[in-house]
Amino acid sequence: VVARALALVGISVALAGCGRENALEPASPQQHRIVDLFWGMTAGAVIGFALIVFLLWLGWHRRGRADLPGGGGDRRGTTLVVVLGVVVPIVVLSALFVWSDVFVLRATSAPARGTTELTVEVIGHQWWWEARYPGTSAVTANEIHIPAGTRVEVVGTTADVIHSLWVPRLNRKIDVIPGRRNRIVFDATEPGRYRGECYEFCGLQHAHMGLAVVADPPARFRAWLAHNAKDAASPATPQQQHGRQVFLSQACSGCHQIRGTRAHAVVGPDLTHLADRATIAALTLPNRPDSLADWVRDPQHEKPGARMPALPLTEGELNDLLAYLRSLR
């Protein structure tokens, strides 16, 4: 039994290390606070547990004797119970309360006005994330760029049901709830790509509702934002030109926006700079020609239940359409 239990513990530890995102590897000052609290509480719990086990053992070991170690009668026993059972818990729990509910909570709560340099609106959809940058026309999906080393206010809303936004290495989670604007701060210390998930069951494809926060060096971020705010490039070849025609004449344009064309629907992700993204379908597929083709040909095969239907296109139309989509840098 012991061997089996040890094996189980070993497997859990190994699996815990497998995850791509480890909440205990903080990448922001906010997550640092949370992780410090976690380890503080874990250490306290281990010490408390060890103390209790020791006292139990001591009681059993001395079960034949009436007095305490070092002598002393009932009075001393009562004092011990009051100190260990009442005073110590009050002191420890009060300290923990101040540490967590005052300091950690304050550091990770919605940022106070004027303490952030940039605002990003993140909108949950079944089953993908939209990101808008107020004051610019930039819109993107699932890969949310922010400048590193900068306090960014994220305002979370939803287009449909309740979702929850969680980027484990950056901060705690916030629910996104119809009719409410919940706020959180993302302040990535280093440039990098930080994965997040929807953390509230929101329907069939909840498990495929990932996002990535891409923290760029500030200059690179500004270039990205300026580029994203521009309209889509015009088709450079006759094939892409025809692809655009297919897009605009098919139902695609009834659900998607490509800025600079007359497609302005907001049911699905903005595709103006689709080719700049590393993944599609909320991090479900890499944005490679083959997986993009699989997706457009049959989204229901890749992500059953997704709010995008397969459309009847000829192979020729599909090829030209894909050539156009791949040109949307």
Q: Which does 198 bind (CB under 5 to 8 A by kind): ligand HEC, Cu ion, none?
A: Cu ion
- Footprint on residues 117-156 left by ligand HEC (CB under 6 A): 127-128, 141-142
Question: Quick one: which H or E segment has residue 125?
Answer: strand 118-125
Q: Would you count residue 296 as binding ligand HEC (CB under 6 A)?
A: yes
- Taking the complex as a whole, how short is the minimal distance between the CB of residue 248 and ligand HEC, in angstroms? 10
User: Pick from 163, 244, 259, 303: which binds Cu ion (CB under 5 A)?
Assistant: 163
Alpha carbon dihedral 312, 208, 185, 147, in 10-degree steps, equals: -60
Q: Which does 163 bind (CB under 5 to 8 A by kind): Cu ion, ligand HEC, none?
A: Cu ion
Alpha-carbon gap, residue 38 to 151, rounded angstroms = 23
Alpha carbon dihedral 242, 244, 248, 253, in 10-degree steps, equals: 150
When the beta carbons of 142 and 158 are compared against ligand HEC, the nearer one is: 142
- Taking the complex as a whole, how short is the minimal distance between the CB of residue 210 and Cu ion, in angstroms? 10
- Length of the chain in terms of residues written: 329
Task: Kindly indicate which of the ranges 172-180, 196-204, 216-224, 307-315 contains the residues binding ligand HEC, using the contact rule CB under 6 A.
Answer: 307-315
Alpha-carbon gap, residue 149 to 185, rounded angstroms = 12
When the beta carbons of 163 and 256 are compared against ligand HEC, the nearer one is: 256
Q: How many residues bind Cu ion (CB under 5 A)?
A: 4
Alpha-carbon gap, residue 126 to 208, rounded angstroms = 10
User: Pick from 242, 308, 320, 323: which binds ligand HEC (CB under 6 A)?
Assistant: 308
Dihedral of CA 94/98/99/104: which sign?
A: positive
Pairing of β 143-147 and β 210-216? parallel
- Footprint on residues 79-98 left by ligand HEC (CB under 6 A): none
User: Pick from 123, 138, 170, 198: which binds Cu ion (CB under 5 A)?
Assistant: 198
Q: Would you count residue 209 as binding Cu ion (CB under 5 A)?
A: yes
Alpha-carbon gap, residue 268 to 306, rounded angstroms = 10
When the beta carbons of 282 and 328 are compared against Cu ion, the nearer one is: 282
Q: Which does 221 bind (CB under 5 to 8 A by kind): ligand HEC, Cu ion, none?
A: none
Pairing of β 152-158 and β 118-125? parallel
- What angle is formed at CA 131 by the lines to CA 259 and CA 285, rounded to 5 degrees? 90
Dihedral of CA 308/314/316/317: which sign?
A: negative
DSSP output for 78-124: HHHHHIIIIIHHHHHHHHHHIIIIIIIHHHHSSPPTTS-SEEEEEEE
User: Pick from 141, 152, 184, 202: which binds Cu ion (CB under 5 A)?
Assistant: 202
Pattern 246-275, ligand HEC, x by CB under 6 A = -x--xxx-xxx----------xxx-x--x-
Pairing of β 152-158 and β 143-147? unpaired
Q: Which does 27 bind (CB under 5 to 8 A by kind): Cu ion, ligand HEC, none?
A: none
- Taking the complex as a whole, how short is the minimal distance between the CB of residue 5 and ligand HEC, in angstroms? 41
- Taking the complex as a whole, how short is the minimal distance between the CB of residue 162 and Cu ion, in angstroms? 8
Question: Quick one: which H or E segment has residue 14?
Answer: helix 2-18
Binding site for ligand HEC (CB under 6 A): 127-128, 141-142, 205, 247, 250-252, 254-256, 267-269, 271, 274, 277, 280-282, 296, 303, 306-309, 311, 321, 325
Binding site for Cu ion (CB under 5 A): 163, 198, 202, 209
